[in-house]
Each structure stands twice: as structure tokens, then as C-alpha cells.
Amino acid sequence: MLDWSRIDTVILDMDGTVLDLHFDNRFWLHHLPATYAERNGMSHDEALTHLVGLFAGQQGSLNWYCTDYWSSQVGFDVAALKPALKHLIRERTDAFSFLSAVKASGRRLWLATNAHRASLELKLAETTMGDWFDAMVSSHDYGAPKEEQAFWQALQTAHPFDPARALFIDDSEAVLDSAARFGIGQLRTIITPDSQKPQRSDLRYPAIDHFAELGQPTRQEPASR
Ligand SMILES: [Mg+2]
């Protein structure tokens, strides 16, 4: 449970936190390699090995999250392949009822994603998620991923907030490390970002599977902000 009286601002990651990471894992580790294999006359395993090697070289950088970058690497439009799997884009567990409850409580509710704007737009078109957020930020807007302090500094400049009175939830521990360094007061991670994979263990941050575990956000009067 959380002490909601200590929280003014709720900031949520998108993929693996609000939305099921199954779509992204399926896309990057199956659909993209299959397309790459077909276009280059190689086996699926050869394509996967090649692509995973390329992914590893960019992990944690903005390129890793950038469909334009990967289009330039593979030689075809990566973002254009995504709609084929759009039926896999769905909320994670009770995410949308949590968004609704936070919004109704009077707190500021922001989405902060490392996803490219094109990926964000696809997910907004396929879900009702956008109805609840006051602000939706892609780290590509700031030229720095959430793993870097520059992201948090740019976020605070664009949307002033008190980090000590913020709750931030993300399935990436590298991102949570960066948020902790910036002084975000309450941090949580996600036990099962991908509904088709086993639960994770040995996580370094307090972890939840269902948002209901955080308790009901108490009503916050505007005057107390
Ligand atoms: Mg994530």
C-alpha cells in the first residue's frame, strides 16, 4: 500500500507497465526477425541472432527505442510492420481502472515513455489509455531516454513538479535507478510486464502485479497541491 497523502503526481511508463509487453516482445523478437529473414533469404534463427546482436549494441540509448533508427539498420520501414500485430496491444491487468481512479482523485497523471511517437500513436489509436493522461511524454521529444538525468530535467522544465511528491512506476530497473537519482519519492516496478512470460523475481524495487495493491488513491483537494 502507498501513503497517497504524500503523492501529488503519478508518472507511468507505457510498455510493460500500463500496456502488456507481450506486443513489443512478439514484434521485436518474432515478427521483425521473420520479416528480416524473408527479405534477406536467411533462416529465422540467423535473422534473430543478427538482430539481437544489433539490439544489444544500442541498449539503454535512444536508438534502442527508435523505429526510424531500426528502419535504417534493417533496410525497410519497421513502424509500418507494427499494425499487423495491433490485436496484441492491450492493457496490463487492472491498469485502466487504476488510471481512472488516479484521475478521479485529482492528481496529475502523466505518461512517460521511451517509445517513439509513432509507437505511442499506434497504442493510443488501439486503446482508450489516452483518455486519462494530462500529459504524455516521449523521451524522443527531449532527445534523451529515461535512463539519463537529462530526460528528468527536461520533463521538470516542461511540466514543473516536486519529485519528492511523485510516484513513478516502470518495469525497467535501469530507468528506476535514474528516477531515484533524480529524487522521485515513490518508485515501484512490475512483476510481470509480459503476460506470456513467468513472473520476475529478485527485483531491486518494491514490485506489484496488480495496481490495486497500491490501494485506492484518496481524493486530493486542489488547494492542497
Ligand atoms: Mg517499460
Phi, psi for residue 145 in degrees, rounded to 5: -75, 165
Q: Are strands 108-113 and 207-208 parallel, antiparallel or unpaired?
A: unpaired
- Cβ-contact 135, 48 below 8 angstroms: no
**pLDDT the model gives residue 223:** 52
Helix (H) or strand (E) holding 11: strand 9-12
pLDDT of 95 above 80 = yes
Q: Which residues pair with 187 in a beta bridge?
A: 168
Mean pLDDT of the chain: 95
Closest CA to 15 of 134, 142, 146: 146
Rounded distance from Cα 75 to ligand 1 centre (Å): 26
Expressed in angstroms and rounded, the spacing between residue 141 Cα and the centre of ligand 1 is: 17
CB atoms within 10 A of CB 5: 10
Render pLDDT for 132-180 as a digit per residue (tens, 0 to 9): 999 999 999 999 999 999 999 999 999 999 999 999 999 999 999 999 9
Segment 41-60 shows an average pLDDT of 94
> What domains, with CATH codes, occur in the chain?
4-20+90-224 (3.40.50.1000), 23-87 (no CATH)
Residue-level pLDDT at 1: 78
Joined together, the cell numbers standing for residue 70 give: 531500426
> Strand runs (DSSP E) across the chain, as ranges?
9-12, 108-113, 135-138, 166-169, 186-190, 207-208
The pLDDT tens digits of the residues spanning 174-221 come to: 999 999 999 999 999 999 999 999 999 999 999 999 999 999 999 987
Mean of the pLDDT values across residues 63-86? 94
What is the structure's pLDDT at 224?
Answer: 47
Measured in Å, residue 113 CA sits from the centre of ligand 1 at 7
Percent of the chain with pLDDT over 90: 95
209 touches 98 (CB < 8 A): no
Helix axes 173-182, 149-158, angle to 10 degrees: 60
In terms of pLDDT, which residue wins out, 123 or 60?
A: 123
| Residue 12 Cα to ligand 1 middle (Å) | 9
For ligand 1, an ion, list residues with CB under 5 A: 13, 15-16, 171
What b/e readout covers 74-96, taking b as 16+ CB neighbours within 10 angstroms? beeebbebbeebeebbbbbbebb
Q: How many angstroms is it from 194 CA to the middle of ligand 1?
A: 10
Residue from 71, 85, 63 nearest 36 by CA: 71
Confidence at residue 222, expressed as pLDDT on a 0 to 100 scale: 61
| Contact indicator for 184, 163 with CB cutoff of 8 Å | yes
Cα–ligand 1 centroid distance for 196 (angstroms): 15
Return the C-alpha cell found at 124.
493510443
